[in-house]
Amino acid sequence: MRISLIGSGNVATHLALAFYECGHVVDQVWSRNIDHANLLASRVEAQPIDDLRKLLGNADVYVLAIPDDALFDLAGDLRLGNALVVHTSGATSIQVLKHCSTRYGVLWAPQSFVRDAKMDYGELPFCIEGSDPKAEEDIAVLAGTVSTHIYHTTHQQRQWLHLSAVLVNNFTNGLYALAQQLCREQQLPFEILYPIIQTTARKAQWGDVRYQLTGPAVRNDRKTIDAHRRLLANDQQALEVYDLMTQLIQRIKHG
C-alpha cells in the first residue's frame, strides 16, 4: 500500500519504519518542523513536507500519528476524499476523523515507543476500529502485514485499555522512580532491584495475577507494614501511596 504519515514523533517513526520494512511505500511524511519531517522521511524514502496543502491525494492510507490535541486541531481542516484515514490514539474516538474522509478508523498500538530503540514490530499489538466493516477490514489487513496481534476493539474497550496501559506503564514507572529515589537517598545502587523488576514483569504473563500477589499486604503482616510506614513517616505522599496500594492489594486478593 501507499501510506503517508502525518507526524514525526515516536509513534510516527516506528509505524513508518514498520510499514517500510514490510514493503509498503511510505509516500510523504508531514511535520510542522521540516527538519523532523526530513529526518524520518530520509529513513523510509519518503517526501518530507511541512505544509498539509502539499499532501498528495494518491495515498491509500493516511496515518495521523500526532498528539491528541494536535489531532483535534488538524483533523478539522483535513479533507482526504475517500482515502482510508486512521489516527493512532488510544484515548480518542474515531469520530474526530469523520470530516476527513468517508472511510476512517484507528490503528492504536498500546506500547511504549522510544524513538531510537530497535523494535520487533511483529510483536506489536494493534487495537483497531473502523467507521464501517470494510474500513475496519482494510485497517486489519494493513496492521496484519506488520503483526499477527490484531484486536478489534470498540471505543469503550479502547478507553479502558488506555487506562489499563497507564496503570501498567506510567504508574509502574512511578513506583520504579520512587524506589529509585529511596535507593539513591540510602546510597544503594538501584541495579540490586533489576532482577526482581524483570521477574515481576515476566510473571504478569503467567495467568491470573491475583494468585501471584505476595508480600506484607497480602499476608496482612502488620509488623512489616508498620515498619515500612515508619520509614515513610516524613513523606506524607509516599505514605499515602503505601497505604492505598496495600488496601488495593488486600481488596483484589479477597475480591
Give, as ranges, the residues between 41 and 100 that touch a second copy (CB under 8 A).
68-69, 91
3 forms bridges with which residues in the sheet? 26, 61
Measured CA to CA in angstroms, residue 7 lies from 43, 194, 246 at distances of 14, 34, 41
We find the least distance from the C-beta atom of residue 101 to a second copy, in angstroms, to be 24
Instruction: Let me know: does 30 contact 55? Beta carbons within 8 Å.
Output: yes
- The candidate with the shortest Cα–Cα distance to 26, out of 36, 34, 14, 35, is 14
Q: Which of 35, 114, 137, 220 binds a second copy (CB under 8 A)?
A: 114
Residue 123's DSSP bridge partners are none
Task: State yes or no: residue 110 binds a second copy (CB under 8 A).
Answer: yes
H helix or E strand, kind and range, residue 241: helix 236-254
Among 42, 148, 170, 220, binds a second copy (CB under 8 A): 170
Stretch that binds a second copy, among 15-23, 34-42, 95-103, 246-254 (CB under 8 A): 246-254
Of 9 and 50, nearer to a second copy (C-beta) is 9
Q: How far apart are CA 46 and CA 38, in angstroms?
A: 9
Dig out the grid coordinates for 111 from the structure: 506500547
Q: What is the DSSP letter of 132?
A: S
Decide whether 82 or 187 has the Cβ nearer to a second copy.
187
Q: How far is CA 55 from CA 31, 47, 118, 150, in A?
A: 11, 10, 29, 29
Among 81, 134, 160, 220, binds a second copy (CB under 8 A): 160
Residue among 147, 144, 91 at smallest CA distance from 119: 147
* Partner residues linked to 47 by β-bridges: 28
Using rule CB under 8 A, residue 124 touches a second copy: yes
One of 195, 233, 234, 254 touching a second copy (CB under 8 A): 195
Number of residues in contact with a second copy under rule CB under 8 A: 90
State which residue, 79 or 184, has the beta carbon closest to a second copy: 184
**17, 39 contact by CB (below 8 A):** no
Rounded Cα distance between 188 and 96, Å, is 49
Q: How far is the CB of 79 from a second copy (least distance, A)?
A: 25
Q: Name the minimum Å distance from CB 255 to a second copy.
A: 8
Pick the piece of the chain touching a second copy (CB under 8 A) from 23-31, 36-44, 74-82, 239-247. Answer: 239-247
Closer residue to a second copy, CB minimum distance, 34 or 213: 213
Fill in the per-residue mask, 205 to 234: x = in contact with a second copy (CB under 8 A), - = not in contact. Answer: x--xxx-xxxxxxx--x-xx--xx--xx--
Question: For a second copy, which stretch binds (CB under 8 A), given 26-34, 35-43, 48-56, 174-182?
Answer: 174-182
